[in-house]
Amino acid sequence: MTEKTDFFDLHSRMKNDHYRGQLGGGEKKNEICMFLPIGERKMYTLAVEDSGTGTLTLAGDLTIQHARELKEALIDAVTQSMHLNLNFKDVERVDLAGLQILCAAHRSLLGRSKTLAIVSQVPDAFKAAVKVAGYDRCIEQEDPSGLWRGGN
């Protein structure tokens, strides 16, 4: 029987195996991760408290051009946090790729019995992208965080 593994779990295992090989087996705790596309401002910052609560602050564009950075930030957030707070305060644009990556992270959190909360005002750009993509209709029943309805 094969074990069901989601994308975030598989990528995280590969990434952690790589870190262990490079760093001699140490664990990452209380780490702040920043993902900076060359020549641009900080887009994603993750801070994880000792309690296991992580806060991922998103800024700029959650678009196909920044999909890799967003995916990396969310993989770290999902694997390092028992409870994840999302802060959308400086998000300017969102497209389908950004929504799909957020959806995968959200489902991964739910599948691991972890929780998600929105800790900022959700920008109109995010709300509009959710509505245009139809996420507000198809995911609502699995949305205790309110992410796909525009926040709590």
pLDDT along the chain (152 residues), means of 10: 48 44 39 45 84 94 94 94 93 94 90 91 90 73 64 56
Task: Match 């999902």 to its residue by tokens.
Answer: 78
State CA 127 to chain mean position distance.
Answer: 17
Task: Match 């509009």 to its residue by tokens.
Answer: 128
Among candidate residues 64, 127, 133, 126, the one with its CA nearest the CA of residue 101: 64
The pTM of the full predicted model, rounded to 2 decimals, is 0.70
